[in-house]
Amino acid sequence: MVNKKWSRRFFIGVCITPALLLLTLFMVVPTVQVFRMSLYSWGGFSNNQEFVGLNNFILLWDDMNFIRSFQNSIVLIVFVALATIIIALFFAYLLTNAKVKGSSFFRIIFYIPNILSIVVIAGIFSAIYDPESGLLNNVFGMFSLENLEQKWLGNQKIVIYSVAGALVWQAIGYYMVMYMSSMASVPKSYYEAASLEGAGKMRQFFSITLPLIWTNIRTTLTFYIISTINLSFLLVEAMTGGGPDGSTEVFLSYMYDQAYTNSTFGYGMAIGVVVFIFSFVLAAIVNRITKRDVLEY
Amino acid sequence: MKKKAKGLSTDFLYKLFIYVALITLAVSIIVPVGWVFLASIKENAEFYGSPWSLPKGIHFENFIEAFRDANMGDYLINSIMVTGLALLILLIVALPAAYVLSRFHFKGSRFIHSFVKAGLFINVSYIVVPIFLMLLDWDTGLRAMMGDGFFLNNRVILALIYASTALPFTIYLLSSYFETLPSDFEEAASIDGAGYFKTMFSVMLPMARPSIIIVVLFNFLLFWNEYILALTLMPGEHKTLPVGLLNLMAAERAAANYGPMYAGMVIVMLPTLILFIAVQKRLTQGMTVGGLKG
């Protein structure tokens, strides 16, 4: 019996120790380091670490470039979340409720952007947005809408929306599939009843579908916040490098530039801490204000 | 009679509207992706005309140039090695851990559960610089002792880090699957005198095959497409494909030599596209099980 107990312990230990070791080494320690280093002034390869308390955060407060990356990130989060929700819900509703021919074909096609590397997406959208030989401007040219032609990645006023467009393009399919799976569990009889009462498709969507999948939509709101912060960094780093003139600098790209490219590690990590806390607080607020009673069906 | 005709026409308009919407979105995805494929076989002079003109011939030299001159061939091998090794490490480490965490209750098992779950909230983008500094630090130590670095520019270490950062999601997904399995099988195996290891390897792991496939698919896409860790931790020669593509994009744009750049994009995305078309059903279904995004 003692032997059995020992062998059980041994088994458990062998199974979970490697995972715990790797997690600790490559996830926990670096995360703790982000917080610790944010309290130090550390000018890179000189290895001179000096404890400065919250000084990095005070500096951040006056850093116009950081404020700008903050604004850009918020614009992106709001724009990408709203546009993606509307488009993804719309198409999910069509593909689940309207009897569409070839619905699985559309589902497959819509999901493709999600499996592409962000680097490839950056390349595709550089080709789309190119001012002379770009696809977008040439489409406008074809329909004689030359006044709509833009320097999509060169004009500081609109470039952030060009980035947002690429992010929405990338995200639609993923969220559409998620909404489709929760829409599929709404009983068909509800729609039939509503239809007999004379409710149109729009009315059915807002009075039946939307309330019943609300829990799912709320969950995805948190995803939008986290993934937009992350993907906007990866896309911007690969497509615009934060330019022109810092007009597409976002949270984490600014952090990466400070911490890695400029080697001001402490300052960069302070940005990381602020972004980390910001995303949690934002997710909590969004979660709170979208809370509704869960409908059972 | 009149009413029916009216109903028919609104119905027709509604259908028309649906298909116009669906086809618009489909075109906005197929056209740019397909365009890259066409652009990859265009000659350089063709890029100065309308982007909508079809390629005049198959200029396959773009691929040769990308493979040979831009080293995409080497990078392809690196990507295959890193992705394969990372998947292997991930499965070896995550499967037993997920199995134990979902089927055994022991002192501290709850804590470990929430510990792993907390990892879901840590994003690679936040910790890429600390990881780089940690490896740099180890390398500096090693250089002082042995005169050579080991941890940066190492494909095995990169694979190990890929696997580690994918652990929380993978363990979470696998253990929620293990939890649904009935315990009869373990009991039967135990009565037959099988030990813990034998039960795990010959009874439980084979049963987990559907969820293992999903885990492999998701993480393949994740590892294959990843670039920020690879860019930061591999400044030397052993670059992976996405990082190689980044360099190619910067170089070709400066030199206005577009063909090889698009060939590079095709090289990066073709494997994922083929895999996706082959298994798309599993992937879009599995997504709702995992319901997570990096």
**Helix or strand or coil: residue B194?**
coil
Domain enclosing residue B190, as ranges: 63-290
B7 pLDDT band (50/70/90 cuts)?
low
Distance from CA of B178 to the nearest CA of A (A): 15
Q: What is the pLDDT of residues A197-236, one digit of tens each?
A: 888 888 899 999 999 999 889 989 999 999 999 999 999 9
The confidence score (pLDDT) of residue B288 equals: 55
d(CA A248, CA A154): 11
The whole-angstrom separation of Cα A87 and Cα A85 is: 6
CA–CA gap between residue A280 and residue A151 (Å, rounded): 35
Residue boundaries of the structural domains of chain A: 55-289
Are A166 and A116 in contact by the 8 Å Cβ rule? The answer is no
pLDDT value of position B293? 41
| Closest residue to A94, CB basis, from B18, B30, B221 | B18
Domain membership flag for residue B286: yes
pLDDT at position B240 is 94
Give me the percent of chain B exceeding a pLDDT of 90. 45
What span, in angstroms and rounded, lies between the C-alpha atoms of B74 and A121?
A: 22
Distances (CA, A) of B14 to A99, B11, B28, B190: 12, 5, 21, 61
Angle at the Cα of B129 (from B123 to B133), degrees rounded to 5? Answer: 135
Distance from CA of B94 to the nearest CA of A (A): 7
The reply to whether A278 touches chain B by the CB within 8 Å rule is: no
User: In Å, how far is A199's CA from the nearest CA of chain B?
Assistant: 14
In the three-class reduction of DSSP (H, G, I as helix; E, B as strand; rest coil), residue A42 is classed as: strand
Position B253: which residue type? R
Q: Which residues contact A9 (CB under 8 A, 6 or more apart)?
A: B106
Q: How far apart are CA A176 and CA A180, in angstroms?
A: 6
Complex-level ipTM: 0.89
* Rounded Cα gap, residues B37 and B62, in angstroms: 12
Closest partner CB to B116 (pick from A18, A23, A172): A23
Which pLDDT score, from 0 to 100, does residue A45 have? 55
Facing A127 at nearest CB: one of B35, B268, B273: B35
Spell out which residues of chain A touch residue B86, defining contact as CB-CB under 8 Å: none
The residue count of chain B comes to 294
Integer Cα distance of B250 and A238 in angstroms? 10
Give domain A55-289's CATH number out of 3.40.50.10320, 1.10.10.10, 1.10.3720.10, 3.40.50.1780: 1.10.3720.10
Dist. CA B87–CA B78, nearest whole Å = 14
Of all residues in chain A, the percent with pLDDT exceeding 70 is 97
State the pLDDT at residue A145: 78
Q: For residue B2, what pLDDT is reported?
A: 45
> How much is the mean pLDDT over chain A?
89
- pLDDT averaged over every residue in chain B: 87
Q: Which of A138-142, B25-29, B86-90, B124-128 has the lowest mean pLDDT?
A: A138-142
- Cα(A51)–Cα(A43) distance, rounded to whole angstroms? 12
CB contact under 8 A, A123 and B26: no
Assess whether pLDDT exceeds 50 at residue B38. Answer: yes
| Residue A46 burial by Cβ neighbours in a 10 Å radius (0-12, 13-18, 19+) | exposed
Picking from B50, B265, B280, the nearest residue to A108 by CB comes out as B280
Q: Residue A109: pLDDT above 80?
A: yes
Q: Which residues, including other chains, have CB under 8 Å from residue B45's CB and lie 6 or more apart?
A: none
Q: What is the pLDDT of residue B294?
A: 38
The answer to the question of residue B11 being in a domain is no
Q: Which residues, listed in sequence order, are joined to residue A90 by a DSSP beta bridge?
A: none
Q: In this predicted structure, which of A117-121, A254-258, B169-173, B290-294 has the lowest mean pLDDT? A: B290-294
* Closest CA–CA distance from residue A215 to any residue of chain B (Å): 13
Surface-to-core class of residue A157, CB atoms within 10 Å of its CB (0-12 exposed, 13-18 middle, 19+ buried): exposed
* Dihedral (Cα; B284, B286, B289, B294), 10-degree rounding: -80
Segment B175-195 mean pLDDT? 84
C-alpha–C-alpha distance, residues A35 and A32, integer Å: 5
Beta partners for residue A42, in sequence order:
A49
Q: How far is CA A74 from CA A161, A222, A289, B285, in A?
A: 12, 14, 18, 32
Question: Is residue B88 included in any domain, yes or no?
Answer: yes
Is position B69 within any domain? yes
**Which conformational region is residue A44 in: left (phi greater than 0), alpha (psi within -120 to 50 degrees), or beta?**
left
For residues B261 and B251, give the distance between their C-alpha atoms in angstroms, rounded to a whole number.
Answer: 9
Stretch 131-150 of chain A: residues touching chain B, C-beta under 8 Å: 133-135, 138, 142
Q: What is the pLDDT of residue B291?
A: 45
Polymer length of chain A: 297
pLDDT for B284 beyond 70? no
Contact B165 A27 (CB under 8 A): yes
- pLDDT for B244 beyond 80: yes
- Cα–Cα distance measured from residue A220 to residue A178, given in angstroms and rounded to the nearest whole number: 9
Q: Are B70 and B251 in contact (CB under 8 A)?
A: yes
Which pLDDT score is estimated for B287? 59
Residues 6+ apart with CB under 8 A from A193: none
pLDDT at A47: 64
Q: What is the pLDDT of residue A44?
A: 55
The answer, yes or no, to whether residue A6 has pLDDT greater than 50, is: yes
- What distance in Å separates the CA atoms of residue B128 and residue B166, rounded to the nearest whole number? 14
Structural element, H or E, at residue B219: helix B209-225
Which SS3 state, helix, strand or coil, does residue B78 take? helix
Distance between first and last Cα of chain A: 50
Cross-chain Cβ contact B26/A111 below 8 Å: no
pLDDT at B292 (0 to 100): 44
For the segment B20-28, the average pLDDT, to the nearest whole number, is 95
Residue B256's CATH number? 1.10.3720.10
pLDDT in tens, B192-219: 888 888 888 888 888 888 889 889 999 9
Given this model, what pLDDT does residue B149 score? 80
Residues A108 and B281: their CA atoms lie apart, in Å, by 8
pLDDT digits (tens, 9 = 90+) for A22-49: 999 999 999 999 999 999 887 755 567 7
Whether the pLDDT of residue B285 is over 70: the answer is: no
Residue A1: per-residue pLDDT: 56
Query: pLDDT, tens digit, for every residue of A272-281?
Result: 999 999 999 9
Q: Is A92 or B193 the better-scoring residue by pLDDT?
A: A92
Amino acid at B116: V
Phi, psi at A213, each rounded to 5°: -105, 15
Interface test with B, best of A26, A42, A204, A262 (most B CBs within 10 A): A26
From chain B, the residues in CB contact with A276 under 8 A are 126
Is the pLDDT higher at A1 or at A184?
Answer: A184
Token pair for A72: 């850009």
What are phi and psi for residue A49, nearest 5 degrees?
-95, 125
Q: Which of residues 216-255 of A touch B (CB under 8 A)?
A: 219, 223, 226-227, 229-230, 233-234, 237-238, 252, 255
Q: Do A181 and B288 touch (CB under 8 A)?
A: yes
Q: Give tens-digit pLDDT for A42-79.
A: 775 556 778 888 888 998 888 999 999 999 999 999 99
Total structural domains within chain B: 1
CA distances to B92, B100, B181, B188, B203 from B199, rounded to whole Å, are 16, 12, 14, 10, 5
pLDDT at B8 exceeding the cut of 70:
no
Residue of A19, A142, A227 lying closest to B97 (CB–CB): A19
Residues B83-101 have pLDDT tens digits of 999 999 999 999 999 999 9
Tell me: pLDDT of B49 over 80. no
A107, A178, A234: residue with CB nearest B288: A178
Residue A133 to residue B122, Cβ atoms within 8 A: no
In the beta sheet, which residues pair with residue A49?
A: A42
